[in-house]
Structure 1
């Protein structure tokens, strides 16, 4: 009888447990990540992207009007982007231009990341505020 109760308890507990795997940022190397929000504002229609390049520890992507580049470092869940620069193509759309500036400025404030259950990753500042959400 004790064995049956133990078995049922184990099944119930395993069913209730969180089955999401911990996502390592390194599994996303060389994959184009889509920016879906900046400061909780939806920008999924702007086709902004970010790619982590493993060999050079560099980032590249599209910020709205311009391509950007920079470097990154990862230590556990801590991540930092530095030396971020971009091409200087004129952007006539005010919304795109403002979101591009916000995106590039937000990258420099990122201090950690957190995976979500919806195949996305949140980039957080030092106060754990979500700055950028990426879809992989």
Structure 2
């Protein structure tokens, strides 16, 4: 019995040892980007609320922005040149007292951002050398 058991363990260890996990890198376009940091503070989504997010996608040769600011839907367009980005945004205009600070922040960031950086699963928007906001990629099932 010992002779059979040892080769099975060796075979198991050889085939099933952990492999190094490769870092995933999200793409700017066609990724759901959840706002995760605002003014250096984490953005917490209330239990009964929808996440603040953006999605950038190319369709029929046009680059389209869509998302949610915390109270209102967002739409618009964007242009890319390398890591340079320029947003044009539109939004509905409902007022939601508890989430307007986040929405106003996001709208301002999208207006001011002029370039971006993606590291792993994180998107950062900048104006010149000034960090504006951080987003985390979310994979929907």
Say whether the fold is shared (TM-score over 0.5).
Answer: yes
SS state at 2:77 partner: strand
* Structure 1 residue 134 corresponds to structure 2 residue 140: no
Aligned equivalent of 1:114, options 108, 112, 117: 117
CA distance, structure 1, for counterparts of residue 35 and residue 23 of structure 2: 22
Aligned equivalent of 1:59, options 54, 60, 65: 65
Any gaps of 5 or more consecutive residues in structure 2?
Answer: 1-21
CA distance, structure 1, for counterparts of residue 28 and residue 105 of structure 2: 23
Taking only aligned residues, the RMSD between alpha carbons, in angstroms, comes to 2.1
TM-score by length of 2: 0.69
TM-score by length of 1: 0.71
Residue 92 of structure 1, CA deviation: 2.7
Any gaps of 5 or more consecutive residues in structure 1?
Answer: 1-18
Aligned 8 A contact 2:114 2:125 in 1: yes
Q: What corresponds to 2:125 in structure 1?
A: 123
- Mapping 1:84-103, distance limit 5 Å: 84-93=89-98, 96-103=99-106
Residue 104 of structure 1, CA deviation: 0.3
Q: Which moved more, 1:103-112 or 1:36-45?
A: 36-45
Structure with bigger strand share is 2
Residue 20 of structure 1, CA deviation: 7.2
